[in-house]
Amino acid sequence: MEQPRRITDSFPRRRRRPPGRPKAKRCPQFRPRAPPPAEEPPTPPPDQALMEMLRHFDLAWEYGPCTGITRLQRWERAQALGLSPPKPVRDALLEHGDNPDVTYRWVQPPPV
pLDDT in tens, 2-29: 777 787 777 777 777 777 766 654 555 5
Mean residue pLDDT across the chain? 81
Report d(CA 37, CA 88) in Å as an integer. 35
- Residue span of the structural domain in which 95 resides: 48-103
Residue 61 in any domain: the answer is yes
Please tell me the predicted confidence (pLDDT) of residue 26. 52
Residue 68 in any domain: the answer is yes
Considering its fold, how many domains does the chain have in total? 1
Residue 34 in any domain: the answer is no
- Report helix, strand and coil shares of the chain as percent, to nearest 5: 45, 0, 55
Q: Name the nearest CA neighbour of 59 among 25, 20, 89, 96.
A: 89
Report d(CA 71, CA 94) in Å as an integer. 10
Q: Name the nearest CA neighbour of 92 among 36, 61, 49, 62.
A: 49
**Residues 23-77: pLDDT tens digits?**
654 555 556 677 777 777 777 778 899 999 999 999 899 998 888 889 999 999 9
Residue 13 in any domain: the answer is no
Residue 7 in any domain: the answer is no
Residue 33 in any domain: the answer is no
Report d(CA 70, CA 54) in Å as an integer. 12
